[in-house]
């Protein structure tokens, strides 16, 4: 028998040792397993429900203390950025939860793991886990709390040159339903300005706009078409 002080690889990655290992097993059990094994005792849907609520209150409290001068509206926007489905999926990917999931599926494992920690160690344990996992995210917010909008900035720049707005085209979508990868490109006046990928169409469009802003290919095209000055 292993001593309780010994942590399994996932617990090491998480920085948290479960008192009740069954809670972690439940958090990592995708509901699809019950379709094949009718007698299976649990899945992670209830823990996902609980974990989502814990994440909301923990992040809300931290933002409330982090930005004492921010209005309710600004705090709500920041919270939405942090607890979006895409953002939480990225946290799960950072922990490599997919390697440990029963059935190898389940995009909502991060929320269910938070719920399991809450039941196992209380709110403070869940809060500390979240702050640790989101340390980099909160660090970015501290230096740049306002959300950058590459699509809006790109459109404003281009429409100052011509009335046509940039258009976004979906190039591909690959992967299973719970973890698709999208690739989009942005076009303007027949010029491909850039492409990008993400876990949603919107995220891929934002990545494409950010790349266009970084490379600014429309300036090269403008120089090509500008009339050359002739010497007298």
The rounded distance, in Å, linking the Cα atoms of 229 and 232 is 9
Residue with token string 């004492």: 68
pLDDT, tens digit, for every residue of 41-54? 788 999 999 999 99
- Per cent of the chain over pLDDT 70 is 85
| Domain co-membership, 156 together with 135 | no
pLDDT at 232 (0 to 100): 45
Taking alpha carbons only, the member of 21, 22, 17 closest to residue 5 is: 17
Question: What is the pTM assigned to this prediction?
Answer: 0.65
Average pLDDT across the chain, whole number: 85
- The total number of structural domains in the chain stands at 2
Q: Are 92 and 85 a contacting pair, CB within 8 Å?
A: no
Residue 131's domain comprises: 9-143
pLDDT, tens digit, for every residue of 165-206? 999 999 999 987 767 889 999 999 989 999 999 888 888 898
208 Cβ contact partners less than 8 Å away, ≥ 6 residues apart? 168, 184, 185, 186, 193, 194, 195, 196
CATH of the domain at 74: 1.10.1520.10
| Domain co-membership, 35 together with 19 | yes
**Of the candidates 143, 161, 187, which is a domain's last residue?**
143
Indicate whether 232 belongs to any domain.
no
Over residues 14-27, the mean pLDDT reads 93
| Domain co-membership, 159 together with 129 | no
Over residues 142-148, the mean pLDDT reads 74
Show which residues are catalytic: 52, 111
């Amino acid at each position: 028998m292993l001593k309780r002080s010994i942590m399994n690889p996932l617990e090491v990655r998480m920085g948290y040792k479960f008192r009740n290992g069954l809670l972690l097993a439940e958090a990592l059990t995708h509901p699809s397993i019950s379709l094949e094994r009718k007698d299976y005792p649990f899945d992670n849907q209830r823990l996902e429900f609980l974990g989502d609520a814990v994440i909301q209150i923990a992040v809300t409290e931290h933002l409330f203390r982090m930005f004492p001068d921010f209005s309710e509206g600004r705090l709500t926007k920041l919270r939405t950025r942090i607890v979006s489905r895409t953002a939480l999926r990225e946290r799960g990917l950072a922990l490599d939860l997919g390697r440990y999931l029963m059935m190898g599926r389940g995009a909502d494992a991060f929320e269910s793991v938070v719920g399991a920690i809450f039941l196992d160690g209380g709110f403070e344990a869940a809060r500390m886990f979240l702050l640790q996992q989101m340390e980099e995210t909160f660090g970015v917010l501290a230096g740049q709390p306002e959300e950058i909008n590459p699509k809006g900035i790109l459109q404003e720049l281009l429409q100052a040159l011509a009335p046509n707005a940039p258009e976004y085209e979906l190039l591909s979508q690959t992967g299973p339903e719970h973890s698709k990868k999208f690739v989009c490109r942005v076009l303007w006046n027949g010029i491909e300005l850039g492409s990008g990928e993400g876990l949603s169409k919107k995220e891929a469009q934002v990545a494409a706009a950010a790349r266009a802003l970084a490379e600014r290919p429309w300036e090269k095209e403008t120089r090509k078409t500008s009339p050359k000055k002739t010497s007298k």
